[in-house]
Structure 1
Amino acid sequence: MKRIVFLLSLVAGLSAFAQDTSARQMPGQQEEVQAPEVPFVPTPQDDVDQMLELAGVKPGDVVYDLGSGDGRIVITAVQKYGARGVGVDINPVRISEANENARRAGVEDQVEFRQGDLFKADIGDASVVTLYLLPSVNERLKPKLLAELKPGTRIVSHDFDMGDWKPVKQIETNGSTLYLWVVPERGGHRAPR
């Protein structure tokens, strides 16, 4: 049932975003705004907390949220765990909202929200990556994660897996499934691409 609601939200979200941003440019932007492949469906705060706990977030971690929406995951990582946070989202409206939420939370100096394509984002300094994307997007993202992230980087996904890359841990919480992977050592046992 939850996946049906997510898919209905996906269709509605993409339709609304396409109407809202078609051919609109932000000041200083050189190219048209791309429509997202995944609509903004907020991760419930209980799931945010469980994702960050599953990842073992601690002070000194750099938490990247790919498809960061309103910024709640990286803001929580800073507030509760003392991490630094980076959110990447293609939607300029979500970036503005995330920056405002960070300002209200008093953490704007510890987070950064970047508008851009998550497939082109520089993610090499992440120690934790969080995702709430579709399975097809996770699958396409997997090679980038394995190539650019340091061994030991933790990846947590809300509700959707990465195909044949088996998680090191999987938990059920509040009707959601959370998955944890750890980027393997180079040259050692590699995750399937």
Structure 2
Amino acid sequence: MQSPEEYVKKMLRSAPDDFGAYYDAARKTRQVWKWEKMEQTAISQCGSNSASFFLYRRAKFIEKDREERMMKEEQEKKRALEAQQVMEANKAEVDKKLKKNQLKRQKKKERKEKFEKKQRGEIVEAPVKKIVRDDSAVKAVSASIQSMKQSVHDLPDLSEATEPVKEATDAVKEAAEPVKETP
């Protein structure tokens, strides 16, 4: 059987790869030594020399390194996912603004085309209807106002209420004057 020192020398001869695998002389293969296994070998060889302690420490270091690497990978994945979500949110916002601006440009273009067609005479607009007062309607309103005046004059004369009635009749007279229109 080989001594622990020789075993350590053989392990040190071949450096660990990225996954912490060492060359195992007994099996003649590269394999990953977990710290539990190293701890068992260290405990089994406890009293012989410090090589077993070295193996135990080295296995713990490898395991810790692997855990750190895995945590870094997880953090990188999280960062990439967050960056992608932020990028998608920004893209949605930019798309919304672009659509809004595109709609504005389209409306402006349509207004310009419509104006140019009006200038060329291609579009004929309906004339704007002006409010024209019917003479018969004016006469009917003035007749109703006259009847109201008559009914006001026919009321019994109250000395206290004469001033408000006069003010009301003056307002009615002003409203009854026909409005002159300009065509």
Please give the range of the TM-score, normalised by the shorter of the 2 chains: under 0.3
More strand by share: 1
More helix by share: 2
* TM-score where L is the length of structure 1: 0.16
Q: Which has the higher contact order (CA 8 A, sep 6+)?
A: 1
